[in-house]
């Protein structure tokens, strides 16, 4: 392992490996590190939207896909509402996805070291230094992709703002909900409202995989209470849990800073996940592209600062997270109590809603289009569902 690189990337999850690959393909010398050995287990629901696959370009063809997602189903009190949208993305096991992207990074020419932790970061005007296994390694730039709990990111870039962290949980289940290739969402009804309420959860996602269904949810409650709620949801829907489930914090507001003169954060480490769904793979890969472009431009003398990365990511993500909060609150209010079945019945017959779902899965600004397009129509949809 040399003493000097153009770029060090600490963390070999999707955002770290993709940043390393992009920088390496641009001709930069890259060292990609991760504290754990690969393949590794990773707590994640595993939904990969079409818009995330697009960010991978032709390499998406080799993804270790579990199932293709070909529609949306919403379940409530044993009744299912369906939308045949066409392909929206896929499901993956995170251990397989992470290993695939790490392998791509290695093939691109970057040096990789697993089981190697960055213990300390020191930045000066001319370089950044990472202490790895008792050895100081220098670089022009360092990318922190160590996940939500990164101490290096907290020390270098500052904490998340107040309210910036929530918890996510997932559990593997055996069985079939009868939804085929659809990704599903379970809403609290009469039979399981207390289960959701016990964990402060408003919605439970259900993603099909080869061996069953992965249930997941997010809220500000503790991880164990979320897992207990998922176990209850599984029982209420005739599924058998396979394992104890897992939980982890996710950051739904960006850190105090996303970049210094020579260091920047990407992916979950930056605080880019959706506060509504917990979806983080799309913003992780998008931030990796932005980070690589900022580093490449600066190394070629096309820019003098990494601050453009901070501005572009913060503007995009803060708007998306705000829209996700508004959308989540609006849907929660609309789908509670006696209004829920009328609204779902109206939505099931509404072609505009189906198009809005496709927009969310395929376009970065799809959530904004969904919010602006659907919320004003809720009264008419309620009437349509009631009349059906």
Total of domains in the chain = 3
- Same-domain check for residues 39 and 73: no
Residue 170 lies in a domain: yes
77 in the same domain as 220: yes
pLDDT digits (tens, 9 = 90+) for 28-51: 999 999 999 999 988 899 999 999
Is residue 263 included in any domain, yes or no?
A: yes
What b-and-e string marks burial along 328-358, b requiring 16 or more CB atoms within 10 Å of the CB?
beebeebbeeeebbbbbbbbbebeebbbbbb
Q: pTM for the full model?
A: 0.92
Q: Is residue 297 part of a domain?
A: yes
Q: Are residues 215 and 276 in the same domain?
A: no
CB distance 279 to 47 below 8 Å: yes
For residues 134 and 207, state if they share a domain: no
Q: Same domain for 218 and 367?
A: no
Evaluate whether residue 332 is within a structural domain: no
Average pLDDT, the chain: 90
Which range marks the domain in which residue 188 is found? 65-91+165-251
- Summarised one tens digit per residue, pLDDT across range 313-344 is 999 898 888 888 887 787 777 776 667 788 88
Q: Tens of pLDDT along 159-171?
A: 999 999 999 999 9
* 350/375 same-domain check: yes
Report whether pLDDT(85) > 60.
yes
- Of 208, 230, 251, the residue that ends a domain is 251
Given 268, 293, 321, which residue is the final one in a domain?
Answer: 321
Report if residue 377 sits inside a domain: yes
pLDDT given at position 139: 98
Q: Is the same domain home to 105 and 39?
A: yes
**Of 230, 251, 272, which marks where a domain is finished?**
251
Cβ–Cβ contacts within 10 Å for residue 116, how many? Answer: 19
């Amino acid at each position: 392992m040399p003493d000097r690189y153009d770029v060090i990337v600490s963390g070999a999850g999707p955002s770290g490996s993709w940043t390393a690959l992009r920088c390496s393909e641009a001709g930069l010398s890259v060292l990609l590190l991760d504290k754990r050995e690969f393949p590794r287990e990773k707590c994640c629901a595993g939904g990969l939207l079409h818009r995330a696959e697009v960010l991978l370009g032709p390499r998406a063809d080799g993804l270790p896909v579990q199932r293709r997602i070909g529609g949306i189903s919403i379940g409530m009190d044993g009744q299912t509402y369906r939308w045949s949208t066409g392909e929206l993305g896929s499901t993956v096991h995170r251990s397989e996805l992470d290993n695939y992207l790490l392998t791509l990074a290695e093939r691109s020419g970057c040096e990789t070291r697993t089981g190697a932790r960055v213990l300390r970061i020191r930045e000066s005007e001319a370089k950044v230094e990472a202490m790895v296994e008792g050895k100081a390694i220098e670089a022009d730039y360092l990318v922190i992709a160590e996940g939500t709990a990164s101490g290096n990111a907290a020390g270098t870039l500052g904490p998340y703002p107040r309210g910036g962290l929530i918890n996510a949980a997932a559990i593997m289940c055996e069985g079939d909900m009868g939804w085929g290739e659809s990704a599903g969402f379970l809403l609290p009804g009469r039979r399981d409202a207390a289960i959701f309420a016990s964990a402060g959860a408003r919605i439970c996602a259900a993603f099909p995989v080869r061996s069953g269904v992965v249930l997941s949810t997010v809220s500000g409650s503790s991880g164990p209470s979320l897992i207990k709620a998922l176990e209850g949801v599984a029982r209420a829907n005739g599924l058998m849990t396979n394992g104890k489930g897992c939980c982890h914090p996710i950051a739904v507001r960006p850190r105090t800073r996303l970049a210094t003169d020579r260091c920047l954060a990407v992916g979950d480490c930056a605080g880019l996940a959706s506060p509504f769904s917990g979806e983080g793979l799309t913003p992780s890969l998008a931030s990796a592209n932005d980070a690589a472009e900022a580093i490449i431009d600066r190394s070629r003398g096309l820019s003098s600062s990494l601050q453009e990365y901070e501005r572009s990511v913060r503007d995009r993500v803060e708007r998306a997270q705000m829209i996700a909060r508004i959308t989540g609150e609006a849907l929660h209010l609309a789908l509670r109590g006696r209004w829920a079945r009328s609204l779902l019945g109206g939505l099931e017959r509404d072609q505009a809603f189906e198009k809005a779902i496709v927009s969310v899965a395929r376009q970065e600004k799809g959530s904004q289009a969904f919010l602006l397009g659907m919320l004003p129509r809720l009264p008419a949809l309620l009437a349509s569902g009631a009349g059906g």
